[in-house]
Each structure stands twice: as C-alpha cells, then as structure tokens.
Amino acid sequence: MSRLSEGGLIDRSKPLAFSFDGKAMRGYAGDTLASALLANDVRLVGRSFKYHRPRGIFSSGSEEPNALVELRDGARREPNSRATVVELYDGLSAASQNRWPSLDFDIQSVNGLLGPLLGAGFYYKTFMWPAALWEKLYEPLIRRAAGLGRAAEAPDPDSYDRSFAFCDLLVIGGGAAGLMAALTAGRSGARVILADEDFRFGGRILAERAEIDDAPSLAFVERAVAELAALPNVRLLPRTTVFGAYDGGTFGALERVADHLPLPPAFTPRQRYWKIVAKRSLLCAGAIDRPIVFGGNDRPGVMSAQALRTYAVRYAANPGKRAVVFANNGYAWSAAFDAAEAGVDIAAIVDVRPEAPPIQLERAKRRGVRVIQGGQVVATSGRLLSSVTVRSATGEEKIAAEVLAISGGSSPNVGLTSHFGGKPVYRADIAGFVPGACPPGMRVAGAARGDYSLARCLAAGAAEAAEAVSELGFSAYATPVPQARDNAITVTPFWHVPGSRGPAFVDLQNDVTAKDITIAHTEGFRAVELLKRYTTLGMATDQGRTSNVTGLAMMAVLTGQDVGATGTTLFRPPYTPVALGAIAGHHRGKDFRATRPTPTHDWARAQGAVFVEAGLWLRAQYFPRPGETDWLETVNREVTATRTGVGLIDVSTFGKIDIQGPDAGAFLDRVYINTFSTLPVGRARYGVMLREDGIVMDDGTTSRLGERHYLMTTTTANAAKVYQHLEFCLQVLWPELDVQMASVSEQWAQISIAGPQARAVLEQVVDGLDVSNAALPYMGVAQGTVLSGVAARIFRVSFSGELGYEIAVPARQGRRLAEALMAAGAPFGITPYGTEALGVMRIEKGHVSGNELNGQTSARDLGLGRMASTKKDYVGRVLSQRPAFLEEGRVSFVGFKPVNPGDRLRAGAHFLPHGRSGTTANDEGYMTSVAFSPLLGHWIGLGLIARGTERIGESVRAYDPVRGGDIPVEICHPAFVDPEGERLRV
Amino acid sequence: MRSRYSVFSLLANALTGQKGWTPAWRDAAPKPAYDVIVVGGGGHGLATAYYLAKEHGIRNVAVLEKGHIGSGNAGRNTTIIRSNYLLPGNEPFYEWSMKLWEGLEQDVNYNSMVSQRGVLNLYHSDAQRDAYARRGNSMRMAGADSELLDEAGVRAYAPFLNFDDARFPIKGGLLQRRGGTARHDAVVWGYARAADKLGVDIVQNCEVTGFIRENGVVVGVETTRGPIRAGKVGLAVAGSTSRLTRLLDLRLPIESHVLTAFVSEGLKPLVPGVVTFGAGHFYVSQSDKGGLVFGGDIDGYNSYAQRGNLPVVEDVCEAGMALMPQIGRLRVLRSWGGIMDMSMDGSPIIDVGPLPGLYLNCGWNYGGFKATPASGWCFAWTLAKDAPHALNAAYRLDRFRTGHMIDEKGVGAQPNLH
Amino acid sequence: MRLPCPYCGVRDAHEFSYLGDAAPRRPDPAAPDAADAFHDYVYLRDNPAGAIRELWYHGAGCRRWIVVDRDTRTHAIAGATFASGSASGDAS
C-alpha cells in the first residue's frame, strides 16, 4: 500500500472495497478511483488510443487524458470514465479498456513499433490500393483497433431528471475565488447558485498547504460552505459541472446525483440536467497544469505536478517511491514542497531555468530537496517509470524515480468563456491563454483569468461578485477579504525538450507526438485548426485541455510566429463530456413523445382495437374479431358492414377551429380558394387552402354555425400548422379584420357514423331533433342535444361516401356517445371501424388525403382547380398562376386499377409508358394510395400521372423495383364508388 | 515537386524520419488576374477549381478563402454521403456525386476514407413506407441502389436499435448500401492538393470585401489582399452567400441558419453505417476513430453565429435515446454549429448569373457535403460553358419565378422547415 | 435563447416557432406586377448578418405573433412587439 500514514481528506473510518480488472482493493470515503488505485500501488491504468502504449494517471481532475476506464458492468457500463473524477463507493468495479487480451499485455502495442510509419496524415496517404479493400479490409481493422471503451450492453436502467433554476448570479467553481464570490453575493441578498464539478468545495485549497487569516486554509473553506448552506438565497450544487453557456444567460449544467453511490436510491435520478438562467455569471474555474514535451513523457508514473500534490495532500496517496519534479515555474516547486511535507520522497527538482528565485532555493534547501537548475529531462526508462535521465550543465545523470511530476506552466480553464466564440488571449507573462470576449453577463475571477495567487483569488472573487450584483441593484457591502500570503511566482515559457530520446507526446490520449507537429508544419497544416485536424491534436475525450497550448506553441516555434499570433482553437460545449441520457431525461422509450389518446380510446381498447400512431395520436386502426386471420380480412368486413349497414369511427383527431366575428366570412374567403362568406347558416362546405406559394396546404369542411360564427375542420396532421397559419393571416396580414379564433380540437369529441342505416341510428340518440333528409340535408349542420341533454353539433358530411353524420359532443361525453350509438345501432349490426377501413372507403371514393396533400401538389394537380374562385384574392392565388403550375405535362390526380384483376397495387410505384425502360427520363408519376376494394373485389389505387385526366383508359406500367413489382395498370376516374354521390344524399 | 502518395513514399519517409514530405499545397499569393476566381475554399470551391483544371483545362484559377481552407461547413459537417433523393431534379445529380465519390481517392491520390457502409432511413408508418418506396424507386430509376427493408431487415442491419419499447415502432427502412461517410477534412485536402498540382492558386487569408464591376459586368473582386481581376467569378461560400451578394445589391432565396452537430467519446464499433430516425430529428454514424457522430434539426432561426441552443441539443439527445437506449451513459464530447445556406425549396442553386460575370453555387441547406464532388463538377462545367450541365439544369435561380421548385419535403417557401 | 414576449414576459425560445424576416409585406394582389411582387415577397430575403426584425409565434403561450429585434451574429435581442401593431407592447 502506498497510503500515507496520516493526513488527507479521506475518512479512514470508512473503508470501501472496490475492484480494478477483477482484482479486489480497498480505499476510503473521500477517495477518487485514481487516488485509491495509486494507494493500492496500481500505476498502469490504461492504454493509449493509437499506439496502445501503457499509461498511468496523469492528472487529478476532469482534464485527465490517460486514466480512462470502463466503470460498472452490463447495462450500467460507462466507457471512458476518468478515474480521476470517479468518486469511490463501496463495491465499485472498474476495468481497463482499449486493450486485448489484457492491460498488461496488449497485442496492439505493436502499433508502437510501426510508429515511424504511422505519423500524422499516414491514413490519408495510403490504403487506396486497391479501392475495394478499404471497406473490406483496412477500415474494419482500423475501426476495431480504434474506439476506446465499449457501450453498455442493454438500455440504461437508470433515470435522469431535468430541472430549471433561475438566479441573479451563477458562480462556476467553488475554490477560493468562487467561495468568496458566493459569500459576497449571497450576503447582498442576491439569488446565488454555486456549482462545482468536485464532490467537495474548496478547489485547489483542498490540495495545498496554505494559510488564510493565519489558519489552515481548509478552515476558511469549511466556514464559507457552512455560511453559504445557511443562506436561504444560495443554492449549493456540488458534483455539478456547468458544461455550456447559451443565449439569454442560459447555462447547461449536469449534477451527478447518485454516481457516488452503488446504485441510485429509489425515486432518485442518476443525474440531473439543469438549465440555469442567470442574470450574471462568474467563472472561477481555476487552472490546470500543462505538461512539458520530451522523449518518454508518457510512461506510467509521469504526472502533472499539481496531481502529485493533490494525491499526496488531499488523498494521502503516494503515487510512487521517489519523485522527480520537472518544471519551468515556481508553482511546481510549491507542489513539490507540499508533497514532500505530506510524505513523498522528492529526489530532485529539475527546473529548465538557469536560475530559480532565491526564496525557492532557500525553501528547497530547508527541506533538503535537491535542485538541478538549467536542467532538462531527456529520457525516461522503465515500462512503469523507474528512472529519469536529466541533462544539465554538468552532463547527463540518471535518477531513479517512480514518479516524474511535470509542469510547463498553468492553463486557465477558459472553456466556457469561448462558447460564444470569444477567442482566448495569450499573456506572455504567464505563458498562458486567458479569457477574451466573454458571453454577455459573464465575468471571470481567479486562476481562470491567470491570477494564480491565493490572495488575489480571494480578493477578485469578492470584487467581481460585488460588481456583478451591484449591476442588478443589490448593495454588496464590503466583505473583509481574508488574508493569504503567497509570493509572486514566475514562469519561463518552455514547451519541448529538443534532442530528448524516444517518442515525445504532445497529446497523450491521441498519441500526437512532437514529430507529428513537425510533419504538419512541413506539409503546410500550420493554422491551428489545420494542425488539430491533421494530427488529431486536442480531439480526444479531454479536448486537448492538457495538450492544445503546448502543441500550438510548438507550431509557433516552427513557424517563427509568436504564440499569441498563432492563436488557439476554440472550446465548444460541453466543457466536459455529458451523458446523452442525462440530456434526454425522461424522453425515452414510450415517453419519447407525448401520447394523445382519443376520447374513445379506452372504449376502443375494450373492443379489441389495434392502434396506430397518427402523429402524437393513437387511433384505432382496425377491430379484429376472433377467427379473422389477417388485417385485410378484418378491414374488408368493416368496409362491407359500413357500406351495407352502418359503421362507426372516432374522428376527434381532426383539427377544429372556432372562428367568430363580423369579418369571419371575409377572412375565410381570403384563406380558402373557394368562398365561405356566402355559405348559409346551418350548412357546411368543403374547402381547400393553399400556401402562399400556390401549393395545397390543407383541406376540410367548414361549417357556418351562426351569422358571425364558423367552425373549421382541418386534417389531423395539419391541425397545429393550419391554426398557426390562420393566426398569421389574422395578426400579421390582416389585423384590420374583426375576427377571433380558438382551437377547439381537444374540447370536442367527434364520432362519425356512416352507411345506409346511419340516420336510423342517429334518430335514437338525438333529443327530438329532426334529422330527416329534408331538415338535415347533405352538408347540413344542426345544433341541439343528444343523450338527454348533452350539447351536440351534428354535421351531415361524409368521407366514406355513404350517408354519414359526424356528431360532436364535449370531449368527456365521447365515450358515452360511442356506447350509446353502438347500443342504438346494434339492431342494424353497427360495426366500429378504424383508420384502415376509413382509408379504403376514401380511396374507393377518390378523395384526396395526406398522401396526395404532400406539399408538392397544386389544387389543379388534384383535380380541385375548378373550386378556385376567380372573383376574389386568396392566399396562394397569385403564385399558383406561375408557368410551371399550368404546364401541359403536369401530373393530375386519377385512379388506377390493375389490368390483371389479381395483381396487387403498391403505393410508391412509379408510372412508365409501356415499352420504355425504368429511367428518370421515362418517369411519369407515382401511385399515392392503394387499397383492396371489397366492393370491387380487386386492388384500386390513386395517383398522380402526367396528363392523367386526358389518359383515362390508357394502360401504363406501375413500376416498383424496390419490391420487385412491374404490372400493367389502367388509368381511370378516381371515384370507384358512387361517382355521382347519390348515396350521400339519400 | 509534390510526390505521389504511395506505399513506397510512405516507406521511404518512415526510414528517413518523415523528412521527405512537402507541403500538400502551395500557400499561394494572389496574382493580379485569373481566368476564373472561385470564392470559397471549402469542399465545393476546391472541387470546382480541380474540375475546372482537370476537365476543362482552365488552370489559371484562384480559390480565395478568407481563413484557411476547409474552415467552414466542409470541416463542420457530419460526413455523410448518399444519393437517396426523391425528385428527378435532384436524384441524378446526387447519384453522379456518389459515382465521383467512388472514384475520388484514386482520382486525386488522397485517401478521403470514402466508406460505403450504408445509409438507412427508418420508417415508422405505412405512409412513410410508401413514401420511401416512391423514393427508393426514384433512386433505382436514376441508377442508384436502394433496398426497402421490413422490420426483420432492419434488425439484421442494425440490431442495436430499440425495437421493443418504442413510442414510434420501427416498421422498416430504406437502405442505400453505397451510402456512407467520408473523412470531411481529407476531402478538402485531397481536392486542394490535386487542384494545386494542376496549377490552381489556393489563396488563404484572403477575404473578399467587394466586387469590381465594369459596365454592369463583374470583372473581379476586392480582397483583404488587394484587388484581383477575373474573367469569371464564382461564389461557393454556402452560409456566407448573402453577405457577398449584398455587396451587389442582390437578394437571394436563401436564409442562413445554424445547424448543430455532435460527437461522442470514442467507442468500440457499435453503429455500422448511417442510421436516420423517421420519427424525430436524429441521424447517427460512427467515425473510424470510434466517436458517434450525430445531429438533428437546425435551430430554426436565422443565424451567423455558428452556435446553437439547448432545445435542439435536448431534441437530438431525446431522439438518440429513443432509438438507442443503451447509449444513455455514453457522453457527448463536443458540439459545434455551422451556417447553413437554407434555400426556399430545400434544393441548391448552381447557375450562371444573375449578373454578367457572376456564377452562383449556393443553397445547399444542411446537405452540402455529400454533393461536394458533383457540385464542383457541375459548377466547373457551368463556369466553363456558361450554361448548366443537364445534371444541374434544374438548379436554376429563376425556378422560383417559374414555379419549378424542387421541394423534397413539400414544406414550401420556409427555409427552416426544409 | 429567451424571447421577451410583450404579453407573457421573457420566455424560453422553445415555446415559440420561427417564421423569418418581418420586413417583406404581402403585395397588392391586384397590381399589374403582382406576379413579380409575390415572387419577391415569398422567396427573396435580405438574410442580414446583423440586425434583423423577425416574426415569431408564441404557440406554447399567448398565441401572439411577435416581431423580435435580434442580431443574427450574436443572437442578442433588443426587444419585441406584437406583430399586429394593435395593443402593442414593448418588452425591450
């Protein structure tokens, strides 16, 4: 065990069992998986992406490029989990990934031997010969070798929640700056949310041995958190990553509610996706250590100096027996001293600078830490790091060490600041990029903007928060800022050790080497985006947080530009990767989208209906009876029963729009191609409306219920669209019209009965209303009551072509009405039918429906052109007169029947003249709808074919190669049944 | 002299420390005048220049790019190639594009990883099935491949989909096996390298700021690197088209919209080809690196910001989970936005004019990547011959005036619905 | 994105649907040049990179059509009014 005997923010009274690659281990509450692995002497944790090189733990945070594992098992398997941020829980099981057969022995590490061949751009220059082998051989091999972890094996069993939150100030990051900011704003009375990705507030204070107000800095953290927790206007969100900045002060955040537990407790989501709307935001996300590039800088045991300190101080885990620190700055020295005090054996501090500040030298001397100034690490050895070769003025020296802690300076966590496209700005004095233009309302404080001193972090957090809430009218009184002492720390830019031995990695996860940067430079891929794309620098799961700046600085050296002018690639959301399931929330499975049952849904289910999705609606598709062997047999029965007796169907899904006002008729005249202002009260009329581009938008019947009162029906699919269109016409085009509208689709249940016996059935449910042919003729509308006092509207309209009525009652009465009609119709053998039979009957009648109103057809195409009034303007009139709409060869709507009556027709078949080949040039149109007509005893179809109405009686090919069909069909009139409409009027 | 990429060049470089490579293309400085200027160094612009040189012998050509090549939509798309269009104005064009893809790598001597692993469009209703049958038949009639799969067929191709607990059950799909993906950046680089080899000047960091007109004729452009004259000026700048045509007082049937795309962390192989949900806005493929590349609908409002908002992020993840509930714990790694030149009928414009000396290539909506080879090929033809080729004869600008729209979706003159 | 609906207050954009530029006005259908004018009205757009006045419909709210002043480069919103002009409000 490499657990240090004392110290650390772990709870030694709470041991936790866990396993890695099947091996049982123990850690403590407060550990991360990474710290627990180190404490168990596990140094080899993963394999790299391209060369499958052995890798250890590099960092102690969410920027981790190396230590990716598969966490949990089976349906809960989470690939690519960063061991550095996985909070240890009892029973945790993790496995290494991207290796075969084992982590220790990975066959694909031979890729490393091919390294000289597999440089940047390698793929683009080869695998082209012969062409066919790419999909068959090369690519499958590449795909199998690539990838990282494996997806879960079954649907994710956990649930996810979605919450909204609103605040005055969102503080992102709960370190020194963030805590002071939240305190300052919280005390002012502003609504504050403080979010931190860690499971413990404090940021770097947790890993540093510092003092605030002459006491251990941890005491400050505890006091601050306690005060914040007690403020009612402050919400603390630990384990919460603010992952994206969006418009309107909206932030996306992910709270890991139960990831630190073996399983989510009952009624608890695994994670919660927050949408936080903040008037102001303050980014206090800190900074991370950046590596230095040299040969062999990827061996397990090489880690950031910050990580060494964090593991030693916060987790009391010693990452290795002896550590060498290699740096170009003073932070790493402090890290080394802290680690030494925690119990780590520091063999040497190697600093590239010829002269380190005297005060640091003094400290080193006091602690007995050896210092090599002007030194560079030029090689490392050991499969797991065993020694480090240092070159200095005195020559080369090999130093035994299991840990090499490196720091090439700090990179502020600027990610969120560039989500609106703001480019980070290079500051030479800190050799790092700091935020440029931020999203509106966002400020930055502390290390995230390059202020690394603890004292300045505390002061800036307070000051920025005070300014932010002052802008909102809160008076932030001058909070005394706690005092901290730290010395100015300097950094000398240094990126790459020239002449070091072995592959030198820039991007550890994607195995991008210093040589790859050189290749990119040579071949002209010098712009940062080209460099990234050509070499894959920064495209791994860490998004280059530890590699981008170094890589582009190395390119800057090659091009002779300065780093600032070279610039950096932009960070995009999410800041750290976010589980898809969390964003989706409850919208999955059957709950992906809302389900709209019709008013008679439960009744239909009791009748044994099979349902079909119609947009969000579920409609009864057909009602099979025992003994029926397939859907067609059922549908034939339903059609026949309706045409010979009476049938019943719920048509509540049609859109219903109530239109009232003195100008209602004039309004309808402008939206329909035909006229409605002349429609008598108590009558209905079929109407067609166009889009302004002249194409048919929708159709339906509209009734006049009163002098100033109309009720429009729309198709089920277009109900919302038509309503929005009407509101547009009214509010935007003609606000001068005095018309009011409301959608009443859901307020009314509407049931259609059709068939020769329909009237006989209807008479039994109306309350003394005269529904005779004289009193309620075809296209007549009556209002009254049914079922002893239920308000009802009765429309004598028909889609089936039979004598038909649609009876509308308040939605809650729908089921009762259906049952009453069924009872009343029982003596006539009333038969419930579904959308399939409805479709058959409308095709037999040659009515257009959704398949014909497909957004590509004009009224003229559909044979409805003569309905258009020539005496008025209406939406779509002008553009429906364009040349293409009037062309001779344009398609028109006709019927089709098989020349051989036994042939089955298929919608989607194209029409070809006989004797012509099946090419685009010979394409004359297509079949839109087909049905088997039980009345005619063969399949019938509707379709659009060039000059169709002139070609009645002509035979053409219905060509359907995707289903192997090619049959002769005869063009006919679209109305197969009762073309004169006599049945409607009886 | 730029060497040909071959097994031998790779081995030779491996043995010599990768020191033998040369720039993939020259970083050319602009000359005072060219025969043809193509504005826009994306896939379409570079392909246009390449085919102008190769097919028409017009080599005194400059491609002007305001940033670096491939920095617009060419580098931001989801890399799908397919020719599964419905309408006769479209399908032959896209099938020609597919044929060019199939020979591209050998043609330009660059592995663009054209990978024909299939594109599957799912259907969830009988009406959708019939619409896909119509489309599949259109494809066959244009010489493309298509297969109409039933549910069992979909299960065989993509067994990982949610068949059992779906709000909108999968009933089948339309599969184009020749569809797939290509490595988008490599397409740009391949065309750039090949065009450069034929003498085309690729001028980067050269933003067009105005047009030089004489007697109403466009005879060149003003740029941040000075005026450049040209016999013909072709625009291939996708979402930035209106910014340029505004300088000529032209209004076009185009709006610029933002489309967000996503990539997940890397995974071992899960998704073989491209799968498109038929009951929501979602499509997904898996890159050779292992990341799931996916996306959905445009945000729906005019935008040049190259970034979108959370409602679409949610919509896409919801549809993804509806289709593949086992990816719940997989993480979204990165999202980014591109500026789509959404046209009024959802179809592109490749045409002569509307001013003398000016040529338009725009209106690619969110589907420009797959069109790259044919767009370049047809635009080169149109520039060279001053008339469209039969393949882009339907892509005229005046089709909106005459009523010959090419509206695959049938949603009309509302760009954000296409 | 959040839109300042003059009736409902500031609401998330997902409650609204977008139509486009509010500048084009439906031409006089009786004018002799109606065909050209309607072509321009329906199809041609300024498509500005910058300030735009655009039509949104608050379908999941008050069902009012509103005109929003927005910048297409930054998505910054300057204000909104009712499209009808009547009962106008300004939530800028």
Chain C residue with minimum CA distance to A691: C42
Is residue B140 within 8 A of residue A962, CB to CB? The reply is: yes
Give me the pLDDT at residue C87, please.
43
Q: Do B411 and A855 touch (CB under 8 A)?
A: yes
Peptide bond between residue A130 and the one before it cis (omega within 30 degrees of 0):
yes
- Distance of residue B157 Cα from the nearest chain A Cα, in angstroms: 16
Q: Which residue type sits at B191?
A: Y
Domain A1-152, CATH class in plain words: alpha beta
What integer pLDDT is reported at residue A117 of this predicted model?
Answer: 76
Q: Hey, are the CB atoms on A151 and B326 less than 8 Å from each other?
A: yes
Taking the CA atoms of residue B330, residue B334, residue B335 and residue B339 in that order, the dihedral angle to the nearest 10 degrees is -140
Q: What is the CATH number of the domain that holds C63?
A: 3.30.2270.10
Cβ–Cβ pairs < 8 A, chains A and C: 61
What integer pLDDT is reported at residue A145 of this predicted model?
82
Contact B243, B210 (CB under 8 A): no
- Amino acid letter at B124? H
Which CATH number applies to A160-287+412-471?
3.50.50.60
Count: domains in chain C: 1
Residue A299 Cα distances to A47, A345, A761, B34, angstroms? 11, 19, 86, 54
CA–CA distance, B252 with B189 (Å, rounded to integer): 30
Question: What are the phi and psi torsion angles at A442 (to 5°)?
Answer: -100, 135
CB C66 within 8 A of CB C56: yes
- A123, A536, A693 member nearest B413 (Cβ): A693
pLDDT at A597: 97
Please choose, from the candidates A565, A291, A562, A284, the residue with its C-alpha nearest in 3D space to the C-alpha of residue A410.
A291
Residue A832's alpha-carbon distances to A640, A935, B264, in angstroms, are 12, 18, 49
- Is residue C91 domain-resident? no
Sole residue written with tokens 């990975």: A106
- Are A1-152 and A160-287+412-471 the same fold in CATH? no
Give the separation between CA B321 and CA B317, rounded to whole angstroms.
6
Rounded to the nearest angstrom, the gap between the alpha carbon of residue A543 and the centroid of all alpha carbons in its chain is: 19
- Burial label for B385, CB within 10 Å (0-12, 13-18, 19+), is exposed
Question: For chain B, what percent of residues have pLDDT higher than 70?
Answer: 99
Tell me if A367 sits within 8 A of A358, measured CB to CB: no
Do A727 and C39 make contact, defined as CB atoms within 8 angstroms? Answer: no
- Flag whether C29 is in a domain: no
Domain locations along chain A: 1-152, 160-287+412-471, 291-407, 601-653+747-833, 654-744, 877-985
Task: For residue B92, say if its preceding peptide bond is cis, omega within 30 degrees of 0.
Answer: no
Fold of A877-985: Elongation Factor Tu (Ef-tu); domain 3 (2.40.30)
Q: List all residues 6 or more positions away from A70 whose beta carbon is below 8 Å from its beta carbon.
A: A77, A78, A79, A80, A81, A94, A95, A96, A97, A149, A150
Inter-chain touch B251–C44, beta carbons under 8 Å: yes
Residue B4 touches chain A, beta carbons under 8 Å = no
Q: Cβ contact (<8 Å) for C76 and A440?
A: yes
Q: Measured on CA atoms in the order A536, A537, A539, A541, is the torsion positive or negative?
A: positive
A93 strand-pairing partners = A19
A601-653+747-833 has which CATH code?
Answer: 3.30.1360.120
User: What pLDDT is attached to residue A108?
Assistant: 81
Distance CA B52, CA B50 (A): 5
Query: Could you tell me which residues come within 8 angstroms of residue A140 by beta carbon, excluding any fewer than 6 positions away?
Result: none
State the ipTM, two decimals: 0.96
Question: What does the block give as tokens for A966?
Answer: 């090619």
Compute the distance between CA of residue A290 and CA of residue A411 in angstroms, rounded to an integer.
Answer: 6
How far apart are the C-alpha atoms of C54 and A213, rounded to whole Å?
56
- In A, minimum Cα distance to C26 occurs at A733
Alpha helices in A619-757 (DSSP H): 631-644, 664-671, 719-728
Instruction: Match 């780590």 to its residue by tokens.
Output: A344
The size of the B-C interface in CB pairs under 8 A is 70
Terminal Cα-to-Cα distance of chain A (whole angstroms):
95
C38 touches chain A (CB under 8 A): yes
Chain B neighbors (3+ CB pairs < 8 Å): A, C
CB contact under 8 Å between B301 and C54, yes or no, is yes
Q: Are B343 and B320 in contact (CB under 8 A)?
A: no
Task: Output the CA–CA distances (angstroms, integers) from residue B76 to A314, A710, B21, B263, in the order listed.
Answer: 41, 50, 27, 11
DSSP label of A134: I
Instruction: For residue C31, tell me if it sits in a domain.
Output: no
Closest CA to A387 of A370, A400, A371: A400
Positions in chain A short of pLDDT 70? 478
Chain B CB contacts of C43 below 8 Å: 253, 344, 400, 413
* Length, in residues, of chain A: 986
The residues near A362 (Cβ < 8 Å, ≥ 6 apart) are none
CA distances from A354 to A327, A371, A398, A490, B367 (A): 12, 11, 20, 13, 57
- Which pLDDT value is given to residue A478? 67
Chains in contact with chain A (at least 3 beta-carbon pairs closer than 8 A): B, C
Asked if residue C71 belongs to a domain, the reply is yes
Report the candidate in A926, A927, A954, A951 with the shortest Cα–Cα distance to residue A939.
A927
Cis check for the bond before A968: say yes or no (omega within 30 of 0): no
| Rounded Cα distance, A880 and A697, in Å | 12
Report the C-alpha gap between A830 and A638 in whole angstroms. Answer: 10
Question: Tell me: the pLDDT tens digits for B315-363?
Answer: 999 999 999 999 999 999 999 999 999 999 999 999 998 999 999 999 9
Counted across chains A and B, CB pairs separated by less than 8 A come out at: 364
Within a domain: residue C12?
yes
Q: How confident is the model at residue C90 (pLDDT cuts 50, 70, 90)?
A: very low
User: Which two three-digit tokens encode residue C65?
Assistant: 């059509």
Q: Which pLDDT score is estimated for B1?
A: 47
* pLDDT, tens only, A74-87: 999 999 999 999 99
Is B243 touching A (CB cutoff 8 A)? no
- Average pLDDT in chain B: 96
C67 within a domain of the structure (yes/no)? yes
Apex A634 CA angle, A630 and A635, nearest 5: 115
> Which neighbouring-strand residues pair with B230?
B34
pTM of the predicted protein model: 0.96
8-state DSSP, B387: S
Instruction: Tell me which residue has tokens 């979909």.
Output: B154
Best mutation target among B251, B298, B302, B349 (most C Cβ atoms within 10 Å) is B302
Q: What fold characterizes domain A291-407?
A: FAD/NAD(P)-binding domain (3.50.50)
Gap from B356 CA to chain A (nearest CA, Å): 25
**The CATH homologous superfamily of the domain defined by A654-744:** Aminomethyltransferase beta-barrel domains (3.30.70.1400)
Range of the domain at C41: 2-22+36-82
